[in-house]
Structure 1
Amino acid sequence: MRLRDRRSFTKPEVMIIPMIDVMFFLLVFFMISTLYMVDVKTIAVHLPQAVHADTQAKVNYLVTLKKDGTLWLDDRQINKFDLLKEAAAACRINPQFVVVIRADQGLDYGQVVALLDELKGAGITHFGLAAEGSNEQ
């Protein structure tokens, strides 16, 4: 006894429109989430503006010098002696070691120069100074 007609069955189909919707949603999700991953390990400071600022992809040490004079290595507060000791040890291991200094815009220029001088005395020769990029030209 047959209950259904064989001709009434349809072939299975792949629904492509819902799959495109899911892929588009994932693309947008990952694009937006990567925007928030950039400053995850940094301390908030007001950087000076620079029209010709470049983006450095690989940074060994990101040192932040806040307006109140505190030093931060990535996202942890550190004293100057420990910073110099760790940076000198890392520089001996990697000759292309780079230190990028993020100094608050309202900070005294003498404090930045003093930190650069002490890092130079510890044997570090590659430096970078962080600035906010500006779209004005």
Structure 2
Amino acid sequence: MRLRDRRIIKPPELMIIPMIDIMFFLLVFFMLGTMYMIELKTIPIKLPTATNTTLEVKSTFSVTMKEDGSLWLEDKKIDLSNLLMQAKIEKNNNPNFAIIIRADKNIDYGKVVKLLDQIKGAGITRFGLATDSGV
């Protein structure tokens, strides 16, 4: 039985192609992972669809108005007076404060307008209406 000659030592080979494959896999994994982190914690509702929408993620409050007229701040039920009080406090702390209103598509249009009017009456002038992208 012949053993290897200890004087002839090959340097270890560095396999770069599998390492590049793993790096691309990690890149795709983190890209897809961060796409799902953008989703806000909100109550599931049926939003109306619109084709010309823009994504605005700078909002401080996300207010959901369900079909029965109940109000939710992020994922907690809230009444209108507490919502307006918290919005005023946040407006005083942050001059770029904005509210995104997510209203169910089957809700009465008058209820949404009444909510917008009360928010504007509280001094909040930056707000938006959330829609589904329709794609």
User: Fold-level match, TM-score > 0.5?
Assistant: yes
- Unaligned stretches of 5+ residues in structure 2: none
Deviation string for 1:96-121 (max 9, x for gaps)?
Answer: 21111000000101110111111111
Matches within 5 A, 1:33-48: 33-48=33-48
Indicate the percent of aligned positions where both proteins have the same amino acid. 51
**Matched residue SS, 1:21:** helix
The answer to whether residue 110 in structure 2 is matched with residue 110 in structure 1 is: yes
What does residue 72 of structure 1 align with?
A: 72
Contact 2:40-2:74 within 8 A present in 1 as well: no
- Give TM-score scaled by structure 2 length: 0.88
Further displaced range: 121-130 or 38-47: 38-47
- Give TM-score scaled by structure 1 length: 0.87
RMSD: 1.6
What does residue 6 of structure 1 align with?
A: 7
What does residue 18 of structure 1 align with?
A: 18
Supply the distance in 2 between the matched residues of 1:4 and 1:75 (Cα, whole angstroms): 71
- Unaligned stretches of 5+ residues in structure 1: none
Aligned residues: 132
Supply the distance in 2 between the matched residues of 1:83 and 1:98 (Cα, whole angstroms): 13
The answer to whether residue 26 in structure 2 is matched with residue 30 in structure 1 is: no
Further displaced range: 69-78 or 23-32: 23-32
